[in-house]
Amino acid sequence: MSSGASATPDLVFKISKCVVQNELLPPTEVATAPDGIVTESFGPTQVTLNKAHVRGHLDHNTAYEIKAGTPHNFLVKNMHYVATLPGDTLLFRAPIPKAS
């Protein structure tokens, strides 16, 4: 039997009224979504945005910030676009920290 440790996420919470902007100057809104899920786990933070409406080009090498109306003042920066999943869901992930 295992020691009780698992690879399950530490924290999962819902966000809504989401806006994705690139971190270039000036910032440009590239996508919106009515709701999403944030997963903070042992690895990098992940954000999935459900039923997203893409308004601009999403680039794998560009840093994005994701803002949401709920919870109040939610903001996560330096997120990278990973893929578009079924159901017009966008997947973003924080970069993996480099080992020192």
Q: Is residue 11 part of a domain?
A: no
Distance CA 61, CA 80 (A): 7
Domain with 69, as residue range(s), is: 19-93
Entry pTM: 0.83
Q: Is residue 61 part of a domain?
A: yes
DSSP state letters, 42-73: SS--EEEEET-EE-S---TTSEEEEEEEESTT
Distance CA 44, CA 42 (A): 7
Q: Is residue 45 part of a domain?
A: yes
Q: What tokens does 26 get?
A: 């000036």
Dump pLDDT digits (tens) for 49-96: 999 999 988 999 999 999 999 888 899 999 999 999 999 999 999 987
Q: Is residue 1 part of a domain?
A: no
- Give me the number of domains the chain comprises: 1
* Among the listed residues 74, 55, 56, 57, the one whose alpha carbon sits nearest the alpha carbon of residue 65: 74
Q: Is residue 5 part of a domain?
A: no
